[in-house]
Amino acid sequence: MDTTAQPPLNGTPPRLAYSVQETARMLGVCDKSIRRLILRGLLRPSRALRHILIPKQEIDRFLRDTR
């Protein structure tokens, strides 16, 4: 899955990070699987905010490195 930046639609900037739920939908797994990957250190989220966000580059890295 390629999550490279897409051109803005209607002036909306491209997404830089996704929630646990959005990441799970993109990868076709459940939320709990994403949380397990985070706990195992296989997926590194940003915890700078109150919500866990997974940067787009981290999703790309995970997919590339776990072939």
Give the tens place of pLDDT for each residue, 24-53: 999 999 999 999 999 999 999 998 888 899
Looking at every residue in the chain, the average pLDDT score rounds to 88
Helix H or strand E segment including 18:
strand 17-19
2 pLDDT above the threshold of 80: no
- Count Cβ atoms below 10 Å from residue 34 Cβ, excluding itself: 25
**9 located within any domain:** no
Q: What is the pTM of this model?
A: 0.78
**11 located within any domain:** no
6 pLDDT above the threshold of 90: no
Number of domains in the chain: 1
- Count Cβ atoms below 10 Å from residue 43 Cβ, excluding itself: 21
Q: Which residue has the higher pLDDT, 2 or 20?
A: 20
**2 located within any domain:** no
Per-residue pLDDT at 43: 96
**51 located within any domain:** yes
